[in-house]
Amino acid sequence: MPDITINYSSDIIGGTLEALRESTLGGLLKPSINVALKPNMVLAKPPSEGATTHAEVVEGVIIFLKEQGVSSIDIIESAWIGDDTKRVYKVCGYEELSKKYGVKLHDLKDDKIRKVQIDEYNFEVCERALNTDFLINIPVLKAHCQTRLTCCLKNLKGCISDKEKRAFHTMGLHRPIAYLNRVIKTHFCVIDGVCGDLSFEEGGNPVTRNMILCGQDPLLLDSYCAALLGYSAEDIGYIPIAADIGIGRLYDSDTVINELNTDKKPAVSGRVRGIAERLAVHVDEDGACSACFSALINALNRTDYSGAKISVGQGFRGKSGEIGCGNCTSGFAEYIKGCPPTASDIVKFLR
């Protein structure tokens, strides 16, 4: 059986179904289990902009599960700090999906929290992510302004409290992301590679690939997807850490890949140099939350700013400086208010 199944198709629902029927998922399911689907619904932008999971991918998964006799299906997610999960569900077409198939939408910001100790960490984890029988991780293959790649492993960050999300950034993201995957078990992954933004996690620069990738090992898939973007596993900090603590195995020449419809494979290769990498020269970052950091990068991309470095992040609380972004830099001579500030407010400030 394949380690990774990849399908190239512009028919998102049909392409997802075809990939799953050729994968190992069917052999892992029992009709009596409860299945939780965890898409990437980070903010209220339609999937066509490259930031959020297509509802059609999730629909393909739901159809497949029902074919296998599974009827207890939930969708779970928590948008990033500064956005509303329920609004994201609506904007991205999940309300219609819920009504069509009788699948419940859960906002994990409203969920009960359980503290889970793992080595030096005591994570605040949403109970629905822990209590499900079978978790299907459905991330978007896209870049990230701080970790370079966000895919399967990082997608579980939507299963922790907002307080814990902030804490992850103070801890440096990579190590806690890896350890979170020891706390929350991913049973299967279906990756939306339709048109992810390969430069920026907030979307706006989608790159059409029309790919659906799936498999059981989130680390194997992440290390393969890193290679697709032109990175080595070592370039993505949480990947080697996850390998060291036994989350899965790394992609190598022995990985069995089953590619479907290769005649429809798009001509996209090599590393996509992201706007975040180019614009980060203007930023001094220390423990910044993704929403705040990406708003700053978004604003810089819309201006011709060439002034002093702009400080952003929780590491600047109680400190002084010249220019800051967000309430954590309120001690600076000048700063943009907000937690997080909007990109439009930052643009006005910079101009």
pLDDT in tens, 218-247: 999 999 999 888 788 999 999 999 999 999
Do both 139 and 190 map to the same domain? Answer: yes
Number of separate domains in the chain: 2
Q: How far apart are CA 172 and CA 228, in angstroms?
A: 24
Q: Per the structure block, which two tokens stand in for 74?
A: 């939930």
Residue 233 main-chain phi, psi, to 5 deg: -60, -35
Q: Is residue 256 part of a domain?
A: yes
Helix or strand holding residue 200 (H, E): none
Do both 34 and 103 map to the same domain? Answer: yes
Residue 20 main-chain phi, psi, to 5 deg: -70, -35
CA distances from 179 to 61, 239, 279 (A): 27, 11, 30
Do both 214 and 302 map to the same domain? Answer: no
Q: Is residue 270 part of a domain?
A: no
Residue in the structure block whose two tokens are 């998964």: 61
Task: Tell me what the mean pLDDT of segment 125-153 comes to.
Answer: 95
Q: Beta strands 4-8 and 211-215: pairing type? A: antiparallel
Task: Tell me what the mean pLDDT of segment 160-171 comes to.
Answer: 94
The full length of the chain comes to 351
Strands (E), the chain: 4-8, 34-39, 72-77, 104-107, 113-118, 121-126, 134-138, 142-144, 148-150, 188-193, 211-215, 257-260, 283-285, 310-312, 323-325, 334-336
Q: How far apart are CA 136 and CA 129, in angstroms?
A: 10
Do both 302 and 236 map to the same domain? Answer: no
> What pLDDT is stored for residue 146 in this prediction?
86
Do both 245 and 294 map to the same domain? Answer: no
SS percent in the chain: helix, strand, coil, step 5: 40, 20, 40
Three-state SS for 251?
Answer: coil
Name residues whose C-beta falls within 8 Å of residue 309's C-beta, 6 or more positions apart in sequence: 282, 283, 284, 323
Do both 37 and 179 map to the same domain? Answer: yes
Do both 161 and 212 map to the same domain? Answer: yes
Q: How far apart are CA 97 and CA 13, in angstroms?
A: 12
Q: Is residue 70 part of a domain?
A: yes
At which of 236, 264, 292 does a domain end?
264
Residue 155 main-chain phi, psi, to 5 deg: -60, -25
> What pLDDT is stored for residue 275 in this prediction?
65
Would you place residue 272 in the very low, low, confident or very high pLDDT band (cuts 50, 70, 90)? very low
Identity of residue 22: E
pLDDT of residue 338 exceeding 70, the answer is yes
pLDDT of residue 200 exceeding 80, the answer is no
Q: Per the structure block, which two tokens stand in for 82?
A: 């500064």
Count of CB atoms within 10 A of residue 347's CB?
Answer: 18
Q: How far apart are CA 211 and CA 265, in angstroms?
A: 8
Residue in the structure block whose two tokens are 């804490």: 167
Q: Is residue 212 part of a domain?
A: yes
Q: Is residue 269 part of a domain?
A: no
CATH of the domain at 241: 3.40.50.11440
Cβ 154 vs Cβ 104: under 8 Å: no
Strand order in the sheet with 334-336: 283-285, 310-312, 323-325, 334-336
**Residue predicted with more confidence, 335 or 304:** 335
Do both 126 and 258 map to the same domain? Answer: yes
In 102-231, alpha helices (H): 127-131, 152-155, 162-170, 174-183, 218-228
Do both 89 and 232 map to the same domain? Answer: yes
Residue range of the domain that includes 32: 4-264
Name residues whose C-beta falls within 8 Å of residue 267's C-beta, 6 or more positions apart in sequence: none
Do both 283 and 189 map to the same domain? Answer: no
Please write the tens of the pLDDT for every residue from 71-121.
999 999 999 898 999 999 999 999 999 999 999 999 999 999 999 999 999
Which of 138, 193, 169, 177 shows the shortest CA–CA distance to 294? 169
Do both 187 and 330 map to the same domain? Answer: no
